Amino acid sequence: MDAGSPHQSARMYDAGPKFPLHAEIHGVESAPLSVAGDVSPYVNGSESAASSGDTRRKHVGETLTPNVHVIHGPSGRVACVSDIRGHVQRLNEIAAETRASVILHTGDFGFYTQDSIERMGDRTLRHVVQHSPLLSTKLRSVLLDSSDARDTHPPLTNGPVPTTLRQMLVDHRREAVLSEFPQLLSGQISLKVPVFTVYGACEDVHIVERVRSGEYQVPNLHLVDESTTHAIDIGSLRLRLLGLGGAVVPHKLFDHGSAPGTMAGGHGTMWTTMLQLGELFESAQHVYDPAEVRILVSYGAPGRDVLIDQLAHAVHADFTISGSLHLRHAMSYNDAGVYGSLEMYRTRMAQSKDRLQDIWHAVRTQVEAAIEPSQRALLTHALHVALHVPSTLASSAPTSKDDAFKNMWHWNLPDAHFGSLVLNVSQGRISSELRSQDLGFMSRCRRASAPSVKVSLPAPAPPPGRASSPNASAAATLFLGHLGDVHPVTEEEIHAFFGEHARNIVQVHFFPDRDRRGHDKEEPRMRNFVHVTFQSEETAREALESHQGQTIKNTNVIPTLERLERSRTKSRAPPKSEESRSRSRSGRRGRGGRGGRGRNTTAANASEAPPAAAPQASTASE
């Protein structure tokens, strides 16, 4: 661990005992689906993974070619990151910062090219732009604002509605907007160390299929999926990498989507299917070696997706490394520490089994009628993994079950720009370092060092028609924008976003969008940003430091939070003298009003006549 890194922790692990190889965890031998059914998923559309008609690249009983990568030296470091989102050069930076010889990546790599823009759905495209690390804040704001200006005439086809956002991305062909993967293909960018990655939820399935088939080949880039495993010889140990990509969406487990091959996906997104689950289980059996340390690399998190946790037990994993939660800090835990007892753990898996059974019963007839013989065994394996609930400790092999419950370790990673995990492998032992982005607490330090504590009540909102000083209000106002994915947002939800700093909010200003009225003309829609005014510039700065980068409304959406910039502030003219003000008032009276121009002019001349005669009277008296 590097000195001076406050958010790092180290832990040592031995290669602990694993589950036995027999079918105690994953069920019985393969059986016909007509008698194996206690489960059922809903098919999203008429086409399913089982009925797609594609043949798997690895069939039942086929021998897998081992992919062994050797890292020379008595020790080595493995960096684990997640969600680089197309920022490929960040991998080289992480390798240099962590002194890593290998990098493991858990999905959302950024498998996009310029042609992917036309295949992506509007919602997915907006999501990718909003979270892309390749875009500046100014360009991101321009692109997201342009996506609201839709064509007023609906399209003649059922395709995506044309937007200015899509056209602007197509026009930016000279620079990497969504991903640096095209530069990686052309050789403009190269990877300094081997990178092993699974695909994530936001990827172009057409590009991932080309990478897996070998049509797209990139030095030092290796795709880990259900049909391909990799082994790394490092620090006197062999690490076996098992990978499963895509999001775990229960109602899509039997949906193949629009993918051209055996993967599942479409419109810029990818997900996991039951056939992939069964194939990974079979691949893990083919390469099983009790001397290896098994690592399951997945996009789905076992802490949220029970199916990933069940798969980890079924493939005898020692560690799991996952992403998809997008938290600010990396997490390290095991099942025994979370659930406390095996009974509570079994209850959670039993609930997941019941939900999956309902899905399986809904589509079982369609799947059994369309599935190919080569896929039948894979589906049977997947059903046994998903429907299995661990036995109690009083079973025939309590020691192995108890060891797996306590010794299988899970790591969930934040996005690459927030933190990473480093595994240091040396002399048969593995230590871990968790690196996370700092959190700002300077506002607390300033309050603690203050000589006295002042408690002030919230200032009342200014009455209509009377505004405070523009410079003062701008300094104490924050811009909260890019709320389109969570629209509409209420004032109560804005207060909930700021938490304890909400007590200092004076006013939340919404802006009606006159060009996008709903059916009711009396209730126009609001624009996707608000201005939040605080009591003072100090309270606004504290709220900005504490809540920047925070999600809103219990979603993954991170709105833009920044100071309100007033670029059109006018400078005040110097104060006028009493004489100039009097002249200005008289001039205004002479330019119109009741009586017309001539009447005002005559009155003005008459009023000025006595002062002119005064000097003459004075001279006569002398």
**Does the 10-113+188-433 domain belong in CATH 3.60.21?**
yes
Residues in the chain: 622
> How would CATH label the architecture of 445-563?
2-Layer Sandwich (3.30)
Angle at 99 between CA 93 and CA 100, to 5 degrees: 90
Q: What is the pLDDT of residue 575?
A: 56
Q: Give 509's pLDDT tier (boundaries 50, 70, 90).
A: confident
With bands split at pLDDT 50, 70 and 90, how would you rate the model's confidence at 620? very low
Distance CA 60, CA 57 (A): 10
Helix, strand or coil for residue 308? helix
CA distance 527 to 424: 50
Stretch 549-576: mean pLDDT? 68
Q: Phi and psi for 616 in degrees, rounded to 5?
A: -65, -45
Q: Is the pLDDT of residue 43 over 60?
A: no
* CA max distance for the chain: 134
Cβ atoms < 10 Å from Cβ of 317:
28
Find out whether 356 and 252 touch, Cβ atoms under 8 Å.
no
- Backbone φ and ψ for 363, nearest 5 degrees, come out as -120, 5
Which has the minimum average pLDDT: 163-177, 189-203, 580-594? 580-594
Q: How confident is the model at residue 175 (pLDDT cuts 50, 70, 90)?
A: low
Enumerate the β-bridge partners of residue 294. 240
The whole-number pLDDT of residue 553 equals 80
**Statement: residue 258 has pLDDT above 60:** yes
**pLDDT value for 233:** 95
pLDDT at 241 over 90: yes
Residue of 331, 310, 282, 303 lying closest to 404 (CA atoms): 310
Tally: H helices and E strands in the chain: 19, 20
Span 79-86, average pLDDT: 96
Q: Residue 244 in contact with residue 276, Cβ under 8 Å?
A: yes
Question: Same CATH topology for 10-113+188-433 and 445-563?
Answer: no
Pull the structure tokens for residue 230: 């990799």
Q: Which amino acid is at 170?
A: V
Where do the domains of the chain lie? 10-113+188-433, 114-149+163-178, 445-563
pLDDT at 527: 77
Give the count of alpha carbons within 13 A of 281, CB side only: 30
SS3 264: coil
Lowest mean pLDDT across 85-89, 149-153, 282-286: 149-153
Q: Which of 14, 8, 6, 9 is closest to 425 using CA atoms? A: 14
103-117, 287-301, 491-505: which range is least confident on average? 491-505
**If pLDDT is split at 50, 70 and 90, which confidence band does 520 have?**
low
Q: Is the pLDDT of residue 601 over 70?
A: no
pLDDT at 433 over 80: yes
d(C-alpha 107, C-alpha 308), whole Å = 15
Query: Which residues, 6+ apart, have CB-to-CB distance to 441 below 8 Å?
Result: none
Dist. CA 43–CA 256, nearest whole Å: 9
Distance CA 444, CA 212 (A): 51
Average pLDDT for 269-286: 95
């809103």: which residue's tokens?
Answer: 552
Cβ–Cβ under 8 Å, residues 112 and 204: yes
Give 357-381 as a DSSP string: HHHHHHHHHHHHHH--HHHHHHHHH
E runs forming strands in 198-271: 221-223, 230-234, 237-244, 265-266, 269-270
Do 49 and 256 form a contact (C-beta atoms < 8 A)? yes
Q: Which residues contact 212 (CB under 8 A, 6 or more apart)?
A: 223, 225, 228, 261, 263
- Determine the straight-line distance between the first and last CA of the chain, rounded to whole angstroms: 103
Relative orientation angle of helices 398-407 and 342-370, to the nearest 10 degrees: 90
pLDDT score, position 567: 39
pLDDT digits (tens, 9 = 90+) for 466-490: 444 555 567 788 888 888 777 778 8
pLDDT in tens, 375-387: 899 999 999 999 8
